[in-house]
Amino acid sequence: QQQVKQSPQSLIVQKGGISIINCAYENTAFDYFPWYQQFPGKGPALLIAIRPDVSEKKEGRFTISFNKSAKQFSLHIMDSQPGDSATYFCAASRDDYKLSFGAGTTVTVRA
Amino acid sequence: NAGVTQTPKFQVLKTGQSMTLQCAQDMNHEYMSWYRQDPGMGLRLIHYSVGAGITDQGEVPNGYNVSRSTTEDFPLRLLSAAPSQTSVYFCASSYSSGQGDYGYTFGSGTRLTVV
């Protein structure tokens, strides 16, 4: 049983559009929420991460929104580019380094 | 700086065979872990280590063994391969910033097929 539920499974967005990926968790002990980006044939790479004491974190075109009361967090990719086409994973951990991953979202950006 | 190196990149095994997936890191990270990636299931933790000589089970440990004799190396052993172990395996090493951030570095993966 996955501790982090991720949706959608896949999405297609036009170049310049916004991609939104949502994740939900049940374990209130989770206190670290990273997002990973994975290209075909490669390992996941850390994209951006947030802790529950902030509601939003932005790095370039990538923004995490965090809703502690709803136990949900999301990744927004602004001005999506073809190079953003990849699989994105949300994850969570609780005061240790063991990550629980979501199932992944495949993002396709059409030029 | 090589980061996390996994070998081999591809492997085909027959049911019942054993093998070792190699993982080495050159970043002096304390923590190392093995994940398997299956379609629609994300990555699931198999085994992990918090330092040389210390290992523990993750979410899906059955059929796998690990050991950590040095900081750098963390091999994963498949004892008797089964078709259910067909997957992509990722090794990762990580550090703790001491402020709750864990900098993970993943290897490029080993694609294993068991026939």
Q: Write out pLDDT tens, residues A15-35.
A: 999 999 999 999 999 989 999
- Tell whether the model's pLDDT for residue B102 goes beyond 90: no
The pLDDT score that the predictor gives to residue A25 is 96
CA dist., res. A82 & res. B49, Å (int): 37
Show the CA angle centred on residue B30, arms to residues A95 and B112, nearest 5°.
95
Out of B4, B58, B90, name the one closest to residue A98 (CB): B58
The pLDDT score that the predictor gives to residue B104 is 86
The pLDDT score that the predictor gives to residue A84 is 98
Length of chain B: 115
Average pLDDT in chain A: 94
Confidence of residue B97 (pLDDT cuts 50, 70, 90): low
A51 touches chain B (CB under 8 A): yes
Average pLDDT (B73-91) is 97
Out of A41, A42, A101, name the one closest to residue B42 (CB): A101
Which amino acid would we find at residue A51?
Answer: R
Residues 6+ apart with CB under 8 A from B112: B10, B11, B12, B13, B21, B78, B85, B86, B87, B88, B89
- Tell whether the model's pLDDT for residue B101 goes beyond 80: no
The pLDDT score that the predictor gives to residue A2 is 77
Distance from CA of B11 to the nearest CA of A (A): 15
- Tell whether the model's pLDDT for residue A94 goes beyond 90: no
Average pLDDT (B64-78) is 97
Percent of chain A with pLDDT over 70: 97
Q: Give every strand in the sheet of B19-25, ordered side by side.
A: B4-7, B19-25, B76-78, B64-66
Q: Are strands B10-13 and B110-114 parallel, antiparallel or unpaired?
A: parallel
Cα A10 to Cα A7, A100, A103, B75, distances in angstroms: 8, 20, 11, 33
Percent of chain B with pLDDT over 70: 94
Question: Is A43–B102 a contact, with Cβ atoms under 8 angstroms apart?
Answer: no
- Tell whether the model's pLDDT for residue A80 goes beyond 70: yes
